[in-house]
A and B are shown apart, each in its own frame.
Chain A
Amino acid sequence: MLRINRTLAWGYWLITAAAFELGLFLILDYAPVEKSMGLVQKNFYVHLPSAICTFLAFLVNFVACIGYLSTRKDWWDDLADATARVGVLLCSVVLITGMIWGKTAWGQWWTWSPRLTFSLVLWLLYVVYLMVRSSVESGQRRALLGAVYGIIAFLDVPLVWLSVKLMPDIHPTSIELAPAMKVTLAYWFLPVTLLSLGLIVARYRSNVRSRAVKHDAQVDPAQPVGFTLAGGKLS
């Protein structure tokens, strides 16, 4: 069984790597260079799919948190942990690509534009999620508190979105996409999603494994011997 899993895993990562390679080809050789921004615009192909996957990861985290609270099954917690970690990773990518965009387009590494601010707050919300988890020793408690915070954090996301829309958007970021660019953009969802899913599953399985190891390490103390009475009239 382990053998099959390992082969599957290797196969999966090879496919993912190939998908990225193809994507790079598309970016560099297929999609035209955008006239006003030049080469840096191309990080948008990574930026948008990452942003979508970030949101989906946190959505699954929300579901996992609710799942844990209602069923108290540990695998929900393992899933919540995996999706949050990958979500934070993806969100970092979104932030960085967003900042690179901003630096190239408007000469500043940081602007308090709605989109960037939103990404930053999202990132902070879930970094805190990971920190809350890491500050609790007890496994059951950690899962419980993580679930509570995870639910509150996700409920916050639409409110963050609405509130940043109130902020002045001095740098609107809509761009014209030529057909080839649209294809490239659509394609890039594949490698990013493959990578995200792969990382989530890998982390999830690692969580499940370390939980199983910990469980087996609990030595079941020898069954206490209920002693019998010799003689006596107890029947």
Chain B
Amino acid sequence: MPLAQSVKTTTPAVIRLAKLGKTIDDRPILRELDFEVASGEFVAILGSNGAGKSTLLKILATLTPPSSGELHLFDQKIDRTTASIRARIGMIGHQSMLYGELTAKENLHFFAKLYGVKSPSSRANEMLQTVGLLDRADDPVKAFSRGMTQRVAIARALLHDPQLLLADEPFAGLDEASSRSLEGLLSLLNQSGKTIVLVNHDVRQTLALARRVMVLRAGRKVIDALAGELTVEIVLDAMNGAVLARPVGADIGADVRPEGPVQ
């Protein structure tokens, strides 16, 4: 049974892609992607540079439209007019998406108001508390270290209590302690029912953290399996395009029913 096969699930799908493609300047970045992500899943996307991971995440965040195929989020087809669905998505990106001139509190307050969060001021304080930066609330973000900025960015992503959290290489530039802390936070969020899609670089970390892993190569999905089925070698080989026939463990899991042969 091929590993590139879509892992289909029985619980309602938060994300559903059908033959999704993205071309930028006549270069195909993503080709014919099909997969579903169910509510409460923790999915990681791996791939070498240029494989299309960041682009895929941007599309999931509704920041850019696909060139072909369809995207469904929360059972709604996404096109130009679906602004309200963004209230259920939170994103942590490469960049902080924060105003350097404003303080941490002001940034969070601003975004809370944009999202229509009730009592934005106290919610901002609450989130600052959660990420442990309440004492630096009134310092401008431009004075923060990378780790601290990332924490404020995480607070911003969670302000409106999104059901789907997208994270694009959030560990980049973080020290050991901050990384561990973020790993813990992501696990906690997933356990509390949030769906998480994580794009990451570190294969080992990803296999330990996520439950389901997809590997992209040249815009196509080459692996879509549970983390337990994979090893670092398998993933690296898939990222780099080797053919491998090697026995790996059997059952994927009782609640998962893979379908049909891959083409």
Contact = CB atoms under 8 A, between A and B. Distances in A.
A218 interface: yes
Question: What is the interface of chain A mostly: helix, strand, loop, or mixed?
Answer: loop
A172 interface: no
A226 B262 contact: yes
A229 interface: yes
Contacts of B248: 229, 232
A218 B25 CA distance: 10
Contacts of B222: 224-227
B173 interface: no
Given A139-B26, A215-B26, A228-B245, A223 B250 contact: no
A234 B252 contact: yes
Nearest to B237: A227
A214 B28 CA distance: 13
Nearest to B251: A233
Nearest to A220: B28
A231 to B, nearest CB: 4
Nearest to A139: B25
A226 B239 CA distance: 10
B26 A218 contact: yes
Interface stretch (B1-9, B87-95, B160-168, B176-184): B1-9
Interface residues of A, number: 23
B contact face: mostly helix, strand, loop, or mixed = loop
Q: Bin chain B's interface residue count.
A: 20 to 34
Contacts of A225: 222, 241-243
Contact of B250 (A218, A227, A228, A233): A233
A138 interface: yes
A206 interface: no
B242 to A, nearest CB: 8
Nearest to A217: B26
A139 B27 CA distance: 11
A179 B241 CA distance: 78
Contacts of A168: none
A232 B250 contact: yes
Nearest to A212: B26
A224 B1 contact: no
A230 B25 CA distance: 40
A107 interface: no
Interface of B: 1-5, 24-28, 217-218, 220, 222-223, 237-238, 241-252, 258, 262
